[in-house]
Each structure stands twice: as structure tokens, then as C-alpha cells.
Amino acid sequence: MKRKLVIFLILILTITSFSATFAHKGTTEINISIDGKTVLFPDEKPFINADSRVLTPVRFVAEALGGEVKWLEDTSTVVLTIGSTEIRFNIGESIATVNDVEISFDTSAQIINRRTYVPVRFISEVLGNEVEWEPSTDTVLIFTKEHKTFLSDSELEIYHNLNEYLRALESNRNFNGSVLVAQNDNIILSKGYGKSNIEKNISNTSTTKHPIGSITKQFTAFAIMQLYEEGKIGLDDTLSMYFPEYGRGDEITIEHLLVHSSGIINYTDYPSFYSLKPEEMDIENIMALFELAPLKFEPGTNWSYSNSGYLLLGYIVEMVSGMSLDIYFDEKIFKPLNMANTGIAYKNSEKMFDSIGYTGNLTLSPISDRGVLSGAYGAGYLISTVEDLYLWDRSLNTEELISNEINEMIFHSYMPIQNDIGYGLGWFIQDHNELGKVAFHGGNVPGFSAFISRFFDIDLVIIITTNQNAYEVEALFNQLFLIVSGVEVPLPEKKQNLLIEPTKIFERL
């Protein structure tokens, strides 16, 4: 029995009637690019209809995607074969069959001047590709990604269910962000939703740079472990070896800082931190907030999340390596992994990313981010994309940058927190009865939230970045995981604007 999926594709490419379409055909010249290469149309061209929808002759797009097109005249059926995916649809109907999955969409294929026209987003989305609109050049951009393979039937169904949920979240709950879901080295979904810049009408994509907050900590911990593997640092080294004047520094070790068991007060809990100007966000001024404060507990005896510890670890990387932390990250991690869209958020006063952070629920307002990001350092000052974070995730299954032995140390749970959850080196670690080991971490800075989760036993990764303040990324992750697991999840419905209580910056989840 065929499985039916009703996907409410947001088709910037819909038609409502043949006459309206034809009447406005050719008023605006539209280009189509696939992986950076312009598609050539020898006769009939893509166009925008009266309802500002984009349609394209299907044959030339399908062939540019490496597919074949057949016309079955007796049934007025178009058959597209692209890799292992077969797409069938009839002229005048709004249902397509993708292998054994029927997909309903809100338009129908039409014949115009002896060419079959379809919404260009339809043909790309049923293949799991990403579509963007470039208004400055009137170009539809389709990205297939070199590492992307054609989806199996089960993966295709997961893709459509994920995309349907996220499109509803975008439409009904004003979601703005990017999501990547991959399993067994295959990207199932990698897309942007909503706007990265509402004022300029710029959409989020899978390559939009967002600040990732405390996800930065896993890179700082990784740098420490690289230096440990090189014999340049010891996990039992005391803080006083690097900061001789630090109070009780001879009792606090590198390992205590890594696993949040140092007892050092969290500097982002101090209101005075937020009163510092960006140019005042240096190590001396920030350390002055907490270095003389009493410890919350004896080092190594308890657990308490502390950005202060990771700020100190970032400066220890600089002392030991002789490089600034951002250069170390770039030379030792980002460049080797081709993470070209990952780096620090601000270089002095220069903003290194284009997305705008927003606060609010359904009504969004821009929010300033420079101050906190300037003072986050190794605790949370990086920007990245879901695509780059996937490269990072894949590298952690290899010995490209670090040995398996050190990798196992990173993902070992050192400090119990609650139930089956503990903390490793820059990651929360869960030993789940059914799912096995799971590593995860979130990040929040003003206007931006992020989350990454790695399932070791089933090789699943879910990555979320958003440009919304204190967004409930963990709740979204839970919904996406249920969808991947085959659970039917209700679509988000429209809701009234709510007053959200302020949330602390750098929440651990």
C-alpha cells in the first residue's frame, strides 16, 4: 500500500490558472542555477506569473540535474528518472508519485507552448535539494551538494516529514533558522527557514552563519586535548601554573575547568558583565569579575556550569600554543576540515557574519549582540553553519585531527549531573538505555540559539542554528528526533503572541 504524505510546500512557484500564467509569461526574465551553473533554456524560459510565482520547463531542469524525461502520451504522464528516484505526474493534476510515495502539492503541472511547466521548487524539494531565491539577479538557486546522495524511500519520507514540520513552524510560529539532519554519512535534510535578515528580506540557508554560543566550548576543549596529546599540557596541571595570582589556583586543575567541577563562579551570572563596553571585554576586566569570588564548592566535589572555566581554558590555549585562540582554531581545526564559514563573531569591531539576531515571539525585534559575543571568548564567541558543524561531526568519527584514544576521553562522562546525563569534555553525555551513547550541547547568546546532538550507536546527528533569542532549540530537537524515529508529530499551529520571560544568556542547554 502506498504511503501518502501531504506536504504543504511553500511554493514561490505556484500557478492558479493557465490563462493567468500565460498572460504574464515573459514579463520578468528568470534564471535558474544548479550548483553554480546556469541552466540553458533553448526556447521556452522560466517566468513569474501574475501571482509572483516562478515556473519552469521541467525537461531542462531535470536534465541539468542528470535525469531523463519521458512523455507518455496516452495518459498525459511525465516520468522523470534522476538516479534511483522516479517521479511521475500527470498534466493538470497536483499529485506526484516519487518511487512508492504519493505527494500532494498545491498546484498542477501545465503545458504552455508545447512545454511542460512545473514549480521549480517542487522538482528540487522532492529530491531533497535546497532552493533559494536571489532577488538581485532574479535567479533561482538549486543546491544538490557534492556530498549528497539520492535518498532511499525511507529517507525520502523522513525528509518530507521533517520539511513539512519545519515549514509549518516557519509559517505558524515564525521560526527563523537552519537545520541539518544526517544519518549514516547521508544528509537527509539541510535547509534554512525564515529570514536571516527580516529588514532586507534575506532568507536563512544551510550556509547562513549564526553565532553558536556555548557550542564553542567543544572546540576549546578539543584544542586543549590536542595540546594534551602533543605533551604540551597536562589535565592535572593547576590553574596557578598559568595564572600565578589566581586565588586557590593551586587547587583547580585543567580537568576541573573542562568538566565544570572547579567551583568557579559563572561570570555571565554577574549583571556587571553586561555593563562592560565591547572595548572593555578583555581578560583582565572579565577575570576581575570572578577571580576573587569564593568558590561555590571544593574543586572536584560537585558540578556547576561555568563559562568562567572555559574563558580561562581559551587563554591557556593561547599561552601554550603561542597563537591567539581564533588563529589556533583556524589553523588546527577549521582549515583542515574545510570549515570555511566558521570563525569568531567579531574581529575587534568588525562583524564577521550577516545574520541579524531577533528577540520576541511572533513579533520580532533586532537585538544587539556585540557586547556579549566580544566577551565570550572560548566559552561562546564562535559563528558557524549547520553544514560546517556537520563537517565537524564527521571528523569526530576519524583520526584526522586527534587519535581515537583522545577522542574517547572527550566523550567520556566525568561528572554526573542528573539521572543518566553527565558531562564530558565540552559535551553533555547521556548513556541511554535504548539509544546508547548520546553527546549533545546547546548554545545561547543574545539573538541566537543553537543545538547539536550526536547519537553514536545509530550514527545520527541533528544540528540546529537559529537567529532568535533564547529559542527552545532542545524542544525542537526532540520533535525532529521523533520524526526521524517514525513517530507522527502534530504540525505546529498558529498561536497568539506571548510575553516570554527573559532567559539567562549561555544556558547550558
The string of DSSP letters for 158-220 reads: HHHHHHHHHHHHHHHH---EEEEEEETTEEEEEEEESEEETTTTEEP-TT--EE-GGGHHHHH
Q: How far apart are CA 163 and CA 179, in angstroms?
A: 10
pTM: 0.75
Coil, strand or helix at 478: helix
Residue 281: HSE in the Cβ half-sphere, 13 Å Cα cutoff: 23
| pLDDT at site 396 | 97
- Output the DSSP codes for 157-172: HHHHHHHHHHHHHHHH
What residues pair up with 443 in beta bridges, in sequence order? 450
What confidence score (pLDDT) does residue 105 get? 66
The pLDDT of residue 490 is: 95
Q: What is the pLDDT of residue 36?
A: 63
How confident is the model at residue 508, as a pLDDT?
37
76: left (phi over 0), alpha (psi -120 to 50) or beta: left
CA distance 470 to 466: 9
Positions of the chain with pLDDT under 70: 1-29, 36, 50-52, 105-107, 123-125, 128, 135-137, 145-150, 496-509
Going by CATH, does the domain composed of 3-144 fall within 1.20.1050.10?
no
d(Cα 90, Cα 74) in Å, to the nearest integer? 11
Kindly report the CATH class assigned to 210-484. Answer: alpha beta
pLDDT at 24: 33
End-to-end CA distance of the chain: 42
Q: What are phi and psi of 51, to 5 degrees?
A: -100, 20
CB-CB contact of 470 with 445 (8 Å): no
Written as one letter, the residue type at 328 is Y
In whole angstroms, what is the distance from residue 411 CA to residue 455 CA?
Answer: 12
Residue ranges of domains in the chain: 3-144, 210-484
The one-letter amino acid code at 264 reads: I
